[in-house]
Structure 1
Amino acid sequence: MEILLRKILSQIRLQEDRLSSQMIGTADEAYQMTLFLKELLFKIKADVLQAGFKNEQQEIEFFKNIKPQILGKLIYYNKVFRIETTCPVSNGRMHLSYYENQLKALKSEYKESICNEDFYRYYRADRTDRDQTYFRLGQINYHDGLKSSVFEIDLSFSTYYDNKIAHIIANELLYTYLLTKINPEDNPDTISINGDANKDLSWTNSQNALIELIYALYVSNSISYGKIGIRKLALIFQVLFRTPLNNIHHAFHRMKTRAGSRTAFLDQLKISLEEYMDKDL
């Protein structure tokens, strides 16, 4: 399943890079990505319904980590398309106010319907003890008083909670996008890491590894003499590698209390570099 996830993410990045290199408008790019992701999800759905899953763990992995990545970006690009095609003006105070209101609406949605849910806390804590309930088909407990959207999804291809993760991913991407519209200094175009410049760039290690690296650079004052905030630094890496990062503060606090080395990725970096140096001796 990990190989499948990497393959899917690679397909998505290639399409994003292809469209980005064409220098088309944001709305057109979002529209084309929506069509691409819709078709990709349709194909994967057909494959899953035909072949099924080899075992329980494969089913959980698919609905927890693979499908939400595709659906999350599909929801995100569709939202971007709707936002861009309803923006009243192309610049000025009204333009800025429009995106600020979009950000307020996103934060309101987060407070009212996401962060207060038990499942959100479960997902953010990287727990696995209820995965069999949340990420297996036919395990929905209607006594939990679920939202009516549960009746609008295809239960042969959804556990309901995979949709909830997809919306979390979409909202995180949208949050970053709106920040770049509101704060020009955070815009990827102004830091020259969009388009062909990052065409072949992708983060292929874990999300925690990237967060560990970001914090190490931040606390060591290695970038801009430490004058850049952790939020903006994380934003730059998200844009650079086109990958969403979950709540980096929660992830960092989990690192401080994890078993074994608290700097596992940095330790491995040191080992890999020393091994590479030894090859030249």
Structure 2
Amino acid sequence: MKQPLHTIIAEIQKQERKLSAEAPNFIDEAYRMTVYLQELLHNVKEDIIKDGFANKAEEIRFFKQIKPNILGKLIYYNKVYRIETACPAENGHLYQNYFALQLQGLQQEYKEHICNSDFYRYYRSGRTDRDEHYYSLGNINYYDGLNSFVFEIDTKFSTYFDYKVAKIIANELIYNYLTTKLNPEQTPDVLLQNADAKDIFWTQTKNALIELIYALHAADALSHGKLGIRKISTVFQILFRISLTDIHNSFHRMKTRAGSRTLFLDQLKYSLEEYMDREDNG
């Protein structure tokens, strides 16, 4: 596998940013990321089966780092899609209980199948002395009492333990997703009631704020471009005490509106230059 890990991760992050900007909701984003990652994994598999590995070090690197990062994200987005499509109506006790049960199930799986295993301790410690055993094809040890699905894996494209790493990666992502769902601090509508922030609010139009959000996203101005539209909009909704519920469609209407498509940014530029002139003349 010639493509380095950082390139694979960069490609996945680029697709995540693209879909975060395009997808009308998180369900659609999760579905499209699942399809994208499944296709990416399929293409990588074809390359591996066709060309093999140049040496043992390349084989270990692939099954230890590259494949688990693709498969881990695939497991995560597929799980999120299933959770979101079965979710009760937003807000209320039923909504909170649903996500609490999902989190409880994840924690139970972690206790039963991950945290007490020798491999998990090996992985977490950063050791490398048994890498050849864990991340080489054909080294499956059935005396370890493996899960029964091991009999169905493709032995030309799995060492079994690469799946274990992918599950660890996926479970951490799912945990963060579920805790965010359950944490009211992440909900703009709740923060709108916070008395400490009542003097900070947005006084322009919602379209103006959406225009600014997309401009910052397009310029990679926040977190080196690693934040998607949805995350950026959440930050602004919390900061400025405003609810933005139609960001995607509003942006597409901006792209087709008559005259300037960047009305607010044009006004910002004009206002700043005018302010600078006043400062110079003052």
Mapping for residues 118-197 of structure 1, pairs under 5 Å? 118-186=118-186, 196=214, 197=216
Cα separation, partners in 2 of 1:142 and 1:113, compared to 1, 3 Å: same
The answer as to whether partners of 2:106 and 2:175 remain within 8 angstroms in 1 is yes
The answer as to whether partners of 2:72 and 2:166 remain within 8 angstroms in 1 is yes
Query: 1:88: Cα distance to partner?
Result: 2.0
- Please state whether the residue corresponding to 2:156 is helix, strand or coil: coil
TM-score by length of 2: 0.67
The answer as to whether partners of 1:134 and 1:159 remain within 8 angstroms in 2 is yes
Following TM superposition, the consecutive aligned residue runs of length 4 or more in structure 1 with deviations greater than 3 angstroms are 186-190, 195-204
Q: Which runs of 5+ in 1 are unaligned?
A: 205-238, 241-281
Q: Deviations over 1:75-116 (max 9, x none)?
A: 000000000011122221111111111111111110111101
Mapping for residues 43-192 of structure 1, pairs under 5 Å? 43-186=43-186
Cα separation, partners in 2 of 1:203 and 1:162, compared to 1, 3 Å: farther
Cα separation, partners in 2 of 1:77 and 1:188, compared to 1, 3 Å: farther
Cα separation, partners in 2 of 1:130 and 1:72, compared to 1, 3 Å: same
Structure 2 residue identity aligned to 1:34: T
Cα separation, partners in 2 of 1:198 and 1:107, compared to 1, 3 Å: farther
Structure 1 residue identity aligned to 2:27: A
Cα separation, partners in 2 of 1:108 and 1:88, compared to 1, 3 Å: same
Structure-2 residue corresponding to 1:29:
29
Q: Which runs of 5+ in 2 are unaligned?
A: 192-208, 233-282
* Identity over aligned pairs, percent: 55
The answer as to whether partners of 2:217 and 2:225 remain within 8 angstroms in 1 is no
The answer as to whether partners of 2:34 and 2:74 remain within 8 angstroms in 1 is yes
Q: Deviations over 1:209-256 (max 9, x none)?
A: xxxxxxxxxxxxxxxxxxxxxxxxxxxxxx89xxxxxxxxxxxxxxxx
Q: Deviations over 1:141-185 (max 9, x none)?
A: 111111101112111100000000000000000000011111132
Query: 1:3: Cα distance to partner?
Result: 5.3
Structure-2 residue corresponding to 1:273:
none
| CA distance in structure 1 between the aligned counterparts of 2:187 and 2:2, rounded to whole angstroms | 32
Query: 1:44: Cα distance to partner?
Result: 0.5
Say yes or no: does 1:39 pair with 2:35: no
| CA distance in structure 2 between the aligned counterparts of 1:172 and 1:3, rounded to whole angstroms | 25
TM-score by length of 1: 0.67
Cα separation, partners in 2 of 1:188 and 1:175, compared to 1, 3 Å: farther
Structure-2 residue corresponding to 1:7:
7
Q: Which has the larger radius of gyration?
A: 2
Structure-2 residue corresponding to 1:17:
17
Count how many residue pairs are aligned between Structure 1 and Structure 2. 203
Cα separation, partners in 2 of 1:99 and 1:69, compared to 1, 3 Å: same
Cα separation, partners in 2 of 1:198 and 1:150, compared to 1, 3 Å: farther
Structure 1 residue identity aligned to 2:58: Q
The answer as to whether partners of 1:71 and 1:163 remain within 8 angstroms in 2 is yes
Structure 2 residue identity aligned to 1:5: L
Structure-1 residue corresponding to 2:253:
none
The answer as to whether partners of 1:180 and 1:188 remain within 8 angstroms in 2 is no
| CA distance in structure 1 between the aligned counterparts of 2:55 and 2:188, rounded to whole angstroms | 42
Structure 2 residue identity aligned to 1:20: S
